[in-house]
Amino acid sequence: MKDKAHVIVLGMGLLNLAALPLWRLPVANAATQAVGYALLGLGLALNLLSFLALKHAASGHIEPIGDLVSSGIYARLRHPMYVSFAIIMLALDLTFGSVPGTLVTLLVFIPSLVWRARLEERTLARRFGKAWQAYARRVPSLLLWDLAKGGGKRKDG
């Protein structure tokens, strides 16, 4: 199943994109579009930083194809690419004022990203052992999920 995780997450994203033109919010105006465009820029920047840090290790598969990446944006966040995908989808939902898109993002797409991140973390723990454990203790995983349970706190302050 873990080899198919990227296909499932991609499918959830496509489902969200398909829902965008349906039932728009009456508040979809210049203000929500401005917020949407700002979030889109943030999400795209975070995605670019993720690709730059991964270099040749970006494969779309859960099984790592290189060394443990813990530099660049990965020194601050374990799954910046997944966070960027969530931000981009929410940005599109706001920009289009899409109620179904927002619901799909919040109830299906983001949970599928969390599921995939957990699969990936188990694989990384097996592959990199103590190096992964030390990295995981020091760097938060998916922002709010780690902050809510107190994980990913830095030892140095």
- DSSP lists the bridge partners of residue 96 as none
Q: Per residue in 50-96, pLDDT tens?
A: 988 887 655 555 666 678 888 899 999 999 999 999 999 899 888 88
Comparing CA positions, the residue from 79, 59, 88, 86 lying closest to residue 121 is 79
| Spatial distance between the Cα atoms of 65 and 98, rounded to a whole number of angstroms | 37
Cβ partners under 8 Å of residue 124, min gap 6: 64, 68, 132
Half-sphere exposure of residue 42: CA atoms within 13 angstroms, side-chain side? 13
Largest CA distance in the chain: 52
Digitized pLDDT (tens) for each residue of the chain, 157 residues in all: 445 655 666 666 666 666 666 555 555 577 778 888 899 999 999 999 998 888 765 555 566 667 888 889 999 999 999 999 999 989 988 888 877 788 888 888 888 888 888 888 898 999 999 999 999 999 988 765 554 444 444 444 3
CA distance 85 to 87: 5
Distance from C-alpha of 59 to C-alpha of 47, rounded to nearest angstrom: 14
Identify the CATH assignment for 2-149 out of 3.30.930.10, 1.20.120.1630, 3.40.640.10, 3.30.470.10.
1.20.120.1630
Question: What is the distance between the alpha carbons of residues 51 and 55, in angstroms, rounded to a whole number?
Answer: 6
Burial pattern 38-70, b for ≥16 Cβ within 10 A else e, equals: ebbeebeebbebbeebbeeeeeeebebeeebbb
Radius of gyration of the chain (CA): 16
